[in-house]
């Protein structure tokens, strides 16, 4: 089952009652994220790009969500989380250190840059980071597992699932104001919600119906 909600596009509802002006402004800005880094250096950017590709691999048959750009933008916008673990420095510094340390770990383990490794090797290093297994000076005392859990994962995965492409992928209704939902029960769908293709020939029907969702 490749596409659970074929042809469903949250953006098709942009001018319906499901979206208000405030939402359009926000999503426009989100879609217009600068694609070039303003915080990260070129080499950090390369590492970050490879990292994003592993944390949230994206299908090749559609325009990718530019995850590194969103990580960069969060830092340059100065958007904070509202709390910080004592052992992790502020987000910009944490990212710099973490990316450098990841690159150092890659060199140490495989004699190559992180972005040049195979996917399996990249995943291997990331699993080790998640387990707390990567150590060394480059971390500067920042526990790698905390960096993974509280920076890498949230900054990248939130960026993905805050993007209309991801909303369409999971069949999320998307923005909903002033129009919310009417049919609230189990197995009930409002006409402006995504149609699920449960498999096989259902797919064609779902595709037809999803292109009419509005």
Partner 1 sequence: MSSDPFARPRAANGRAPDVFKRGGWVPMREFSDAEAVDFVVVGTGAGGGPLLAGLAEGGFSVVGFDAGPYFRPLEDFASDELEQEKLYWTDERVVDGANPITMGGKNSGKAVGGSTVHFAMVSLRFRPEWFKSRSMLGYGADWPLDWREMWDYYARAEQALSISGPVSYPWGPKRPRYPYRAHELNGAAQLLARGAEAMGIKWTATPLATVSAPHGRSPPCVYRGFCRFGCSTNAKQSQLVTFIPRALRAGAEIRDLAMVGRIEMGRNGRVSGVHYHREGHWRFQKARNVIVAGYAIETPRLLLASASDRYPGGLANSSGLVGRNLMTQSNQAVFGVMQQQVRWNKGPPSLALTEHWNYDDRKDFAGGYCWMAQGPLPVEWVTVQTGARGLWGQALRDEMEKYNHQVGLKMVGEMLPDERNRVTLAEEKDSHGLRVARVTYGWGDNDKALIRHALGQMQASLEAVGATDIFRQEDDTNHLAGTARMGDDPAMSVVSADCRSWDIPNLWVCDGSIFPTTGGVNPSLTITSIAMRTADRIRTLAARGEL
Partner 2 sequence: MRLSPTTGLGLGAILSLAALALTRPPPWARAASGHLPVRVPTPDPGAAVHAARRMNRAAGVIAASVLADSAVEHYRGSFHNKAMVIPLVTATLSLAASLHGNGDRQAAAHRLRDCIYAAAALTGLAGTGFHLFNISQKPGGFSWQNLFYSAPLGAPAALILSGLMGFLAERVRDTVPGQPPTIGGLSAGRVVAAVTTLGLLGTVGEAGLLHFRGAYHDPFMYLPVTVPPLTAASIGHAALGRTHRRRPLTRLWLRFTALLGFAGTGFHIVGVARNMGGWRNWRQNVLNGPPIPAPPSFTGLALAGLAALGLMQDHPDD
Contacts with partner 2 by CB under 8 A lie at 17, 178-183, 187-189, 191-192
CA distances from 150 to 33, 157, 186 (A): 23, 11, 35
203 binds, among partner 1, partner 2, none (CB under 5 to 8 A by kind): none
192 binds, among partner 2, partner 1, none (CB under 5 to 8 A by kind): partner 2
CA–CA separation, 44 and 104 (whole Å):
12
- Nearest distance in Å: CB 19, partner 1: 7
Closest to partner 1 by CB, 81 vs 108, is 81
193 binds partner 1 (CB under 8 A): yes
208 binds, among partner 2, partner 1, none (CB under 5 to 8 A by kind): none
Residue-wise burial string across 178-211, b where 16 or more C-beta atoms lie within 10 A, e elsewhere: ebeeeeeeeeeeeebbbbbbeeeeebeebbebbe
- Nearest distance in Å: CB 162, partner 2: 24
Q: Who's near 112: CB < 8 A, 6+ residues apart?
A: 106
Given candidates 166, 203, 207, 211, which one binds partner 1 under the rule CB under 8 A? 166
Kindly report whether the peptide bond that precedes residue 178 is cis, defined as omega within 30 degrees of 0: yes
- Is residue 89 within 8 Å of 142, Cβ to Cβ? yes
Q: Interface with partner 1 by CB under 8 A: which range of 92-100, 136-144, 159-167, 202-210?
A: 159-167
CA–CA separation, 71 and 95 (whole Å):
9
- Is residue 94 within 8 Å of 102, Cβ to Cβ? no
Given candidates 49, 66, 89, 175, which one binds partner 1 under the rule CB under 8 A? 175
CA–CA separation, 209 and 176 (whole Å):
20
Closest to partner 1 by CB, 72 vs 193, is 193
Q: Which residues bind partner 1 (CB under 8 A)?
A: 4, 18-23, 25-27, 30, 54-57, 79-86, 90, 123, 126, 130, 149, 153-154, 157-158, 160-162, 166-167, 169-189, 193-194, 196
């Amino acid at each position: 089952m490749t596409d659970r909600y074929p042809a469903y596009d949250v953006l098709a509802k942009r001018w319906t009652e499901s979206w208000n002006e405030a939402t359009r402004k926000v999503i426009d800005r989100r879609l217009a994220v600068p694609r070039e880094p303003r915080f990260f250096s070129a080499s950090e950017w390369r590492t970050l790009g490879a990292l994003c590709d592993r944390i949230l691999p994206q299908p090749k048959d559609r325009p990718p969500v530019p995850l590194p750009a969103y990580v960069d933008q969060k830092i340059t916008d100065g958007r904070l989380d509202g709390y910080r673990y004592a052992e992790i420095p502020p987000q910009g510094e944490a990212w710099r250190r973490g990316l450098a340390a990841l690159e150092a770990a890659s060199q140490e383990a495989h004699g190559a840059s992180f972005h040049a490794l195979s996917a399996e090797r990249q995943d291997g290093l990331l699993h080790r980071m998640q387990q707390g297994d990567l150590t060394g000076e480059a971390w500067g005392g920042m526990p790698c597992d905390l960096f993974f859990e509280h920076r890498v994962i949230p900054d990248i995965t939130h960026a993905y699932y805050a993007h209309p492409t991801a909303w369409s992928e999971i069949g999320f209704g998307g923005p909903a104001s002033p129009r919310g939902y009417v049919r609230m029960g189990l197995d009930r769908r409002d006409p402006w919600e995504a149609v699920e293709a449960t498999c096989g020939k259902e797919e064609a029907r779902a595709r037809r119906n999803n292109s009419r969702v509005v």
